[in-house]
Chain A
Amino acid sequence: MIQPASPDQISVNIDGREIAVPRGTNMIEAARRVGVDVPHYCYHSKLSVVGNCRMCLVEMGMPAVDPATKAPVIDPSTGKQRINWSPRPTIACATNASPGLHIRTTSPMVKDCREGVMEFLLINHPLDCPICDQAGECKLQEQSTGYGRGYSRFIEQKNVKPKRTLLGPRVMLDDERCILCSRCIRFCKEVAKDDVLGFTDRGSFSTLACYPGRKLENNYSLNTVDICPVGALTSTDFRFKMRVWFLRQTNSIDTESSVGANTVVWSREGTVYRITPRQNDGVNDTWMADSGRALYKPVRDPGRLESIRVNGSGATLDAAAKACADLIAAGGVAVVGSGRSSVEEQFLTKKLAEAARARAWLVSRVGEGDGLLISADRNPNVRGALVTGLISELPSAALGPLAALIDSGAVKCIVSVGEELAAAGLSAEQLAKVAVVYLGTHSNATSAAAKIVIPTLTVFEKHGTFVNQQFRIQRFAKAVPGLPGASDDLLVLSKLVAASGGPNLGADVGALWPSIASEVPPLATMTYGNIPDAGLLISGAPWESLEFAEGSGLHFKPATPAAKGASRV
């Protein structure tokens, strides 16, 4: 038995390999650390342990000691301390590390246990693979292939249960497929704090259902679909749309709020089919809100801007940049940046504001935080604007002071990088009074009133980074190509900057980051490529006096007690 490196680590032995793990680590996690896969269904690292699927059964042994003297009993044939292997297997998920614990996962007993449990799970399971959404990411398929017997001995009638029950607006339940692992029940109770699911009936006829009169409609209901190991719970939005093995997975970030939940965007041939959470134990665990998953829908809706327009006629990007530079040269410019822009775009927006000798504004979006994964700040990247120096104060919701400047004639031209100015508080008269240059994705009042309209890309169509409420910089990547008439935001902004007399800066993330690293001190050590997938915390110290709107949430405690829960600015 090796001595663990630090005193609060415990040494265990898995299939002959020693490993030291922290106190309280269960054997599934310990085995994972040595590359051993212990199959399981009901265990989930973020939920309570129930031990009811019995798939993770392993052999357990403890070192033999003489009961009277407590001296180790040595096995004469090996010269090492004898291990008393328990005749009954134990579940790895509920077996926590204790000194000298030995686990075997490859013995004949364990093989028989796994084949037995697999067989039992399959006997009443419907032969739905051809029509089941879960195919390709189904734990039952994977583990029966890996650990099952490979043939059936069941010739009786299978149980019949309710087949397509709408549990709520976004979740469909097929009770026959359910293997009664209870992950969904535990999630709703422990994480979403909405205890709405439970089992009814008994034994093999046990059935998942909502409690009478209730619906599974909380804003985290789709996480039950993610964690369901089989196709019992499926997403009504994704139902029957696409086979998962055709989909490409791209890492992205949820832009719904400053939480910055890590996501995976699943797409095929330029179309996004669904968004699921990506595990980040520092930000969102394995969860995300349902409302964030719907954000891919506007990507291809008919309101997308598709052509560059200068004074109503089509133009090239260079011509538009020149026209914009002319407007800027006339003076009285305001630049409205966005808390939804990436760090790179905000960096270039700042350069544009400097070149135009303009003041930069940001529009704030504050709502009510839900205490979990939607924070009160509905902009994903206000902190990026602070870090790049685009702004130095927190933005206010309405552009009141800007409106006053328009009325007084001090501001004659507004360059809006993705912000709808009417919604931000400017009236139609004020919009008509100034020359607007609009960079955006969808048509709206501002694009209609703008002299120059340059279509740009949604978050799914470009690369970039955001800084979330924890001051963690996180990357998102391009999942699908943009529309043919739309241009990459960084290309557009770098051209505008150059045309307005500013420096020539890189037009994509790779080329631009050296400039960012050299000019933004907190980001000095980074390149776009070396930011880890789980993001990187940077210091928020320079801004700790600001009264951020966010209250507590998952993995987040606000620095100042003043900012708690809802505050409508």
Chain B
Amino acid sequence: MPAPQQHRLVFRHIDEPGYTNDLACYLRNGGYEVLRKSVLRKPEELVDEVKKSGLRGRGGAGFPCGVKWSLLDRKSGKPIYLVVNADESEPGTFKDRYIIHNDPHQLIEGIMITCFANKVERTYIYIRGEFPEGARILERAIAEARAANFVGPNILGTSYGCEIYVHRGAGAYICGEETGLIESLEGKRPYPRIKPPYFPAVLGLYQCPTIVNNVETLCHVKHIADRGGDAYSKIGTPNNTGTRILCVSGHVQRPGYYEFEVGKITMGQLLNEVCGGPLPGRRFKAVIPGGSSAKVLKFGERYKGKRKVGAEMVDFDWGLEDVPMDFDSLGMIGSMGGSGGVIVMDDSVSMVEALGNINAFYSHESCGQCTPCREGSLWMKKITGRMVHGAARPEDGALLKSVADQIAGRTICAFGEACAWPTQSFVAKFGDEFKEYHQAKKNPRADGAPELV
């Protein structure tokens, strides 16, 4: 079956020639009309639309957005905050940066609709420190929007108002974790909080109820408010509604960002047709479907099980190329949809070295608060580092798995799983490479394979 066309909902204007990131251009293209309509409705209606839409978070966890909003403690009398997670740091993910740099007003409109729906009066956009230009662009856009009465007090002739502030991070992946982000926003070290009791919906920023949403998710809110939750839910597939932006990188002919209806494109269609297949003379070996925290999938694997289609349980028997790119399917086959960062590796890649790279990243980014992740991530990095630099032992693969098993599920935040899953899945699926690496080290590299840095 040929691959479907892209459905550019959020990314509609991203590559449009002549489209600029200023307010005038956005208004020319129908900008802020949805906000105008939305402020005339009841805030509870907008929350309902988002619930009906089935929108799931696009930051990595895929948690239903409407459910997240409905968990807010609205009875405490404390102010409710929205925090926009623009700390796009998941390796392999590069979608939010284009929204911020090329279409910031879409984000701002989505933010204002969200704030109106949840009676938020103050919003903070936490943008990663490595996007200085993005921060400037956002601040300029917010100033333009405020001048045009879309942001600030009494927007669009109503009595509702909301301020948006941009806060720059300083280079830490853990600031993408919602409670780590909140701690950083409060000026402290980004140590994620223990949940219970510190659920952001109850005790978030400054111990007030807080929603933390991803940039892309908030852009989808605009489109849901535009056409209605029911209509939105018809895009994509049941329980995996709407579109999502897949960021394909690695050993494909045409890496880049592609927006498709969730679940309507398979891995094979994406990599072989849309992205042009493997590089000349190469074959696909492995793919990480949802950012480096997701478990790796091996080409040649088959996945069997039962899944819900409509009201029935139906058998599935998939090769990797047959897997639909949606949250549930990827979850069922032992990985996750995550942030949509699809990292493709071909047969020139040594999985041990790839894991070494990933472990180096996680050990560097571990905040250090809790014992398993802090010590375990560095230990795993030291093991793969030792292997890669010449002193591998056949039992190192089993040791890596054992260490990773001691981390996952025992930490304060999901970083424990994030640093353990790559190791667990690489060793589980490519265990032979790990066992034989001490021999393979002596063999020359494949022709044309890039040098190890």
Q: Which residues does A use to contact B, with CB under 8 Å?
A: 49-55, 57, 87-89, 91, 94, 112-113, 116-117, 119-121, 123-124, 153-154, 156-157, 159, 179-180, 198-199, 201-206
Contact of A94 among B194, B375, B406 (CB under 8 A): B194
Question: Which residues of chain A are near B372, meaning CB under 8 Å?
Answer: 54, 116-117, 120
Question: Is B367 a contact partner of A156 (Cβ separation < 8 A)?
Answer: no
Interchain nearest-CB distance for B389 vs A (Å) = 12
Distance in angstroms between the alpha carbons of A371 and B363 in the assembled complex: 44
Main secondary structure on A side of the interface with B: loop
Can you name 13 extra interface pairs (CB under 8 A) apart from A54-B371, A180-B374?
Answer: A51-B194, A53-B370, A87-B409, A112-B406, A116-B407, A117-B371, A117-B372, A120-B375, A156-B382, A156-B386, A203-B363, A204-B374, A205-B368
Distance in angstroms between the alpha carbons of A154 and B382 in the assembled complex: 10
Distance in angstroms between the alpha carbons of A58 and B409 in the assembled complex: 12
Interchain nearest-CB distance for A38 vs B (Å) = 15
Interface bracket on B: 20 to 34
**Interface 0/1 of B183-214, CB less than 8 Å to A:** 00000010100101100000000000000000
Distance in angstroms between the alpha carbons of A292 and B196 in the assembled complex: 40
Contacting A at CB under 8 A, from B346-402, are 363-372, 374-379, 382-383, 386, 399, 402
Task: Give the 8 A-B residue pairs with the shortest CB-CB distance, closest first.
Answer: A116-B406, A120-B375, A206-B368, A156-B382, A204-B378, A203-B366, A51-B194, A203-B368
Any A CB within 8 A of the CB of B172: yes
Question: Is A53 a contact partner of B410 (Cβ separation < 8 A)?
Answer: no
Question: Is B371 a contact partner of A52 (Cβ separation < 8 A)?
Answer: yes
Any A CB within 8 A of the CB of B411: yes
Say yes or no: A202-B410 contact (C-beta < 8 A), given A120-B372, A123-B375, A180-B368: no
Question: Is A156 a contact partner of B383 (Cβ separation < 8 A)?
Answer: yes
Question: Is A50 a contact partner of B382 (Cβ separation < 8 A)?
Answer: no
Question: Is A124 a contact partner of B409 (Cβ separation < 8 A)?
Answer: no
Question: Is B366 a contact partner of A120 (Cβ separation < 8 A)?
Answer: no
Interchain nearest-CB distance for B309 vs A (Å) = 25
Distance in angstroms between the alpha carbons of A202 and B361 in the assembled complex: 13
Interchain nearest-CB distance for A101 vs B (Å) = 13
Residue of B189, B370, B375, B412 with most chain A CB atoms under a 10 A cut-off: B375
**Least CB separation from A120: chain B residue:** B375
Distance in angstroms between the alpha carbons of A55 and B371 in the assembled complex: 9
What are 16 A-B pairs with beta-carbon distances under 8 A? A49-B194, A51-B370, A52-B370, A54-B411, A89-B409, A94-B196, A94-B197, A117-B371, A121-B371, A124-B378, A199-B189, A202-B367, A203-B365, A204-B363, A204-B366, A205-B368
**Least CB separation from A119: chain B residue:** B406
Question: Which residues of chain A are near B412, meaning CB under 8 Å?
Answer: 51-52, 54
Interchain nearest-CB distance for B182 vs A (Å) = 16
Interchain nearest-CB distance for B397 vs A (Å) = 13
Interchain nearest-CB distance for A61 vs B (Å) = 16
Question: Which residues of chain B are near A201, meaning CB under 8 Å?
Answer: 368
Distance in angstroms between the alpha carbons of A154 and B376 in the assembled complex: 11
Question: Is B379 a contact partner of A154 (Cβ separation < 8 A)?
Answer: yes
Interchain nearest-CB distance for B150 vs A (Å) = 39
Question: Is A206 a contact partner of B410 (Cβ separation < 8 A)?
Answer: no
Question: Is A116 a contact partner of B410 (Cβ separation < 8 A)?
Answer: yes
Interchain nearest-CB distance for B289 vs A (Å) = 24
Distance in angstroms between the alpha carbons of A88 and B195 in the assembled complex: 13
Question: Is A204 a contact partner of B375 (Cβ separation < 8 A)?
Answer: yes
Say yes or no: A123-B409 contact (C-beta < 8 A), given A153-B399, A180-B374, A203-B367: no
Say yes or no: A156-B366 contact (C-beta < 8 A), given A54-B411, A94-B194: no
**Least CB separation from A157: chain B residue:** B382
Distance in angstroms between the alpha carbons of A198 and B371 in the assembled complex: 17
Interchain nearest-CB distance for A115 vs B (Å) = 8
Contacting A at CB under 8 A, from B302-357, are none
Distance in angstroms between the alpha carbons of A55 and B372 in the assembled complex: 10
Question: Which residues of chain B are near A124, meaning CB under 8 Å?
Answer: 375, 378
Question: Which residues of chain A are near B197, meaning CB under 8 Å?
Answer: 94
**Least CB separation from A180: chain B residue:** B368
Question: Is B194 a contact partner of A91 (Cβ separation < 8 A)?
Answer: yes
Distance in angstroms between the alpha carbons of A156 and B371 in the assembled complex: 18
Question: Which residues of chain A are near B367, meaning CB under 8 Å?
Answer: 202-203
Question: Which residues of chain B are near A94, meaning CB under 8 Å?
Answer: 194, 196-197
Interchain nearest-CB distance for A456 vs B (Å) = 53
**Least CB separation from A124: chain B residue:** B375
Question: Which residues of chain B are near A55, meaning CB under 8 Å?
Answer: 371
Question: Is B368 a contact partner of A120 (Cβ separation < 8 A)?
Answer: no
Interchain nearest-CB distance for B117 vs A (Å) = 28
Distance in angstroms between the alpha carbons of A180 and B368 in the assembled complex: 8
Say yes or no: A52-B369 contact (C-beta < 8 A), given A121-B375, A206-B374: yes
**Least CB separation from B174: chain A residue:** A202
Question: Which residues of chain A are near B364, meaning CB under 8 Å?
Answer: 202-203
Question: Is B406 a contact partner of A120 (Cβ separation < 8 A)?
Answer: yes
**Least CB separation from B369: chain A residue:** A52
Question: Which residues of chain A are near B374, meaning CB under 8 Å?
Answer: 120, 180, 203-204, 206
Distance in angstroms between the alpha carbons of A124 and B379 in the assembled complex: 9
Question: Is B378 a contact partner of A54 (Cβ separation < 8 A)?
Answer: no
Distance in angstroms between the alpha carbons of A522 and B377 in the assembled complex: 63
Distance in angstroms between the alpha carbons of A262 and B253 in the assembled complex: 75
Distance in angstroms between the alpha carbons of A206 and B197 in the assembled complex: 25
Distance in angstroms between the alpha carbons of A206 and B373 in the assembled complex: 13
Question: Is B410 a contact partner of A57 (Cβ separation < 8 A)?
Answer: yes
Interchain nearest-CB distance for A86 vs B (Å) = 10
Question: Which residues of chain A are near B377, meaning CB under 8 Å?
Answer: 203-204
Interchain nearest-CB distance for A336 vs B (Å) = 56
**Least CB separation from B191: chain A residue:** A52
Interchain nearest-CB distance for A372 vs B (Å) = 26
Question: Is B172 a contact partner of A202 (Cβ separation < 8 A)?
Answer: yes
Question: Which residues of chain B are near A205, meaning CB under 8 Å?
Answer: 368
Question: Which residues of chain A are near B386, meaning CB under 8 Å?
Answer: 156
